Structure 1
Amino acid sequence: MSGALRGWADRRPGSEVADVRRRVLIGAAVVVIIVAVVFGGAFAFQRRLIYLRDAGPVPPAAQVLPGGRDVTLRTADGLDLTAWYFPADAARAAVLVAPGNAGNRSLRAPLARALRAAGLSTLLLDYRGYGGNPGSPTEAGLALDVRAARGFLAAESRVPMVYFGESLGAAVVTGLAVEHPPAALVLRSPFTDLAAVARRHYPFLPVRLVLRDTFPVAGLVGKVRAPVTVVYGSGDTIVPPEQSRAVAAAARGRAVEVPGADHNDPALLAGPQVLEALTAAGPP
């Protein structure tokens, strides 16, 4: 048989079909491997993307604000967490500040200074794994941390308590407020639930299938038996403003928009709208 005929025989229809099938199977295997790697990575490392902790030590509270105290919060699972307490003279309320997912409590010092000037005592906590604290953050762990913070304030002060949650912290204090109603609940830049905001930033991932921590704010806030105020920025690029408005609607509460403010702008850290919401929330 000539070379041309042998080549034709080698490329007969059955051989070509088998070759196509083999390539399809190889391609499918590659896709499965890629998907498995993406899913596995998203599952294994998701908490590193959620909790952007600053684990470094923080200065003493008195160095940050005269009269401040370094306090220890004992959690139900046995962790000792450090926090700052800034008592106000003749305080009319105490504010429990649950921070967002990044940094540590030193970023909230301007807020504590302004609240104390307004006659509100303030507790700035750091979650487990943040600000030199032991442990690693999880949804269940943060719930224990904020309950320890509330326990400290309840024992330390006999004045009404206001919960203030920033972003992720809004989810943390909403869960606390369902169990232990405060005098008022103020949520800054809350999302409806973690999957909703994660899907905004990672649209290529099936986030609801892989998320281990869910933080369902909108699903819980309607159960809170206290006045709810939501403060958010119209220019927020982290938590879509419509999600914060949806939380306010679910709570049947007051919504305060800060025009043009992005998620980490000073106006949303200790700006006048935030301070007004907190001071108005406490008793006169």
Structure 2
Amino acid sequence: MDVWAPRAALALTLVVALVIGLVWLFQRRLIYLPDRTPVPDPPLPGARTVELTTADGLRLAAWFVPAAEPRRGVSVLVAGGNAGNRAHRAPLARALAARGLSVLLMDYRGYGGNPGTPTEAGLALDVRAARDYLARSGEPIVYFGESLGAAVVTELAVEHPPAGLLLRSPFTDLAAAGQVNYPFLPVGLLLWDRFPVAERLAEVRVPTTVVYGTADTTVPPEQSRAVAQAAGGPVRTVEIPGAGHNDPVFLTGEELIDAVVKLAER
């Protein structure tokens, strides 16, 4: 027994080291879960596919959805979460456009048939290309960030403050969110991409609304509440009882759409 114990401990240590090494090496495949399928033209009235050019030379496809009458004269930049592509968010764009808001549904590099590989730095370039596209119209812009996208638009808001900022199911930072989903791993020590939402939101002074569900097991509601508490400007929270992370209420629910409209009206 005494002879085998050190060997067993060594074997276990090697297995743990191997697992951690593989997670470290392939971590972005766990963080970014794109639907890479090329997306057809938008199935929305008057909508069109547009091209965004990033500072590092990538050409990314996105959907622009014009506002229905009466127009509010405000555009919404929608940055999605870590999975899917813009086609999955068409109901959100339809609901916002029906309330008089123009919408740009962007896809990051590597998503929806777009070239490139997603990283934190890359997504920052992508969302700037989306913001530049909308800025040409001269309309005020509301940033809408879903989960990981909340981190993307918060970082953008520090450099380019919008008219309003809506964060849907935001985490405090990626390490905190990762620890919830991978409690057996030292996530904070392994990550290359950090996405410090709460830290950056403290620098943002624009009106901000944080929307989250009480039954979210991917990003626990206490993390979204902590993000709201960190806001450097006026902040409002919208808590949706019983809603999980990817429930339909976060695409077409009245509470969510009303929250965006209220920001646009400020």
Query: What band does the TM-score fall into relative to the shorter chain?
Result: over 0.9
**Is 2:253 the counterpart of 1:271?**
yes
**Is 2:101 the counterpart of 1:120?**
yes
**Is 2:164 the counterpart of 1:176?**
no
Of 146, 158, 164 in structure 2, the residue corresponding to residue 166 of structure 1 is: 146
TM-score after normalising by structure 1: 0.89
Residue 32 of structure 1 and its aligned partner are, at CA, apart by 2.8
- The residue that corresponds to 1:149 in the other structure is 130
Residue 27 of structure 1 and its aligned partner are, at CA, apart by 2.9
Of 154, 171, 175 in structure 2, the residue corresponding to residue 191 of structure 1 is: 171
Structure 1, unmatched stretches of 5+, are 1-18
Residue 35 of structure 1 and its aligned partner are, at CA, apart by 2.1
Q: Could you say which structure has the higher helix fraction?
A: 1
Residue 260 of structure 1 and its aligned partner are, at CA, apart by 0.4
C-alpha distance in 2, partners of 1:249/1:85?
33
- The residue that corresponds to 1:108 in the other structure is 89
Equivalences for residues 45-124 of structure 1 within 5 A: 45-61=26-42, 64-88=43-67, 90-124=71-105
Q: State the SS of the aligned residue for 2:225.
A: helix
C-alpha distance in 2, partners of 1:242/1:140?
27
RMSD: 1.4
- The residue that corresponds to 1:254 in the other structure is 236
- The residue that corresponds to 1:41 in the other structure is 22
Q: Deviations over 1:127-154 (max 9, x none)?
A: 0110000011111111110011001111
C-alpha distance in 1, partners of 2:239/2:5?
53
Percent identity for Structure 1 against Structure 2: 63
Moved more, 189-198 or 29-38: 29-38
Work out whether residues 161 and 182 of structure 1, in 8 Å CA contact, stay in contact via their aligned partners in 2. Answer: yes
Residue 91 of structure 1 and its aligned partner are, at CA, apart by 4.1
Q: State the SS of the aligned residue for 1:192.
A: coil
Q: How many residues align?
A: 262
C-alpha distance in 2, partners of 1:34/1:188?
38
Structure 2, unmatched stretches of 5+, are none
C-alpha distance in 2, partners of 1:153/1:56?
25
Find the structure with the greater CA-based Rg. Answer: 1
TM-score after normalising by structure 2: 0.95
C-alpha distance in 2, partners of 1:128/1:91?
30
The code of the aligned residue for 1:109 comes to A
**Is 2:199 the counterpart of 1:219?**
yes
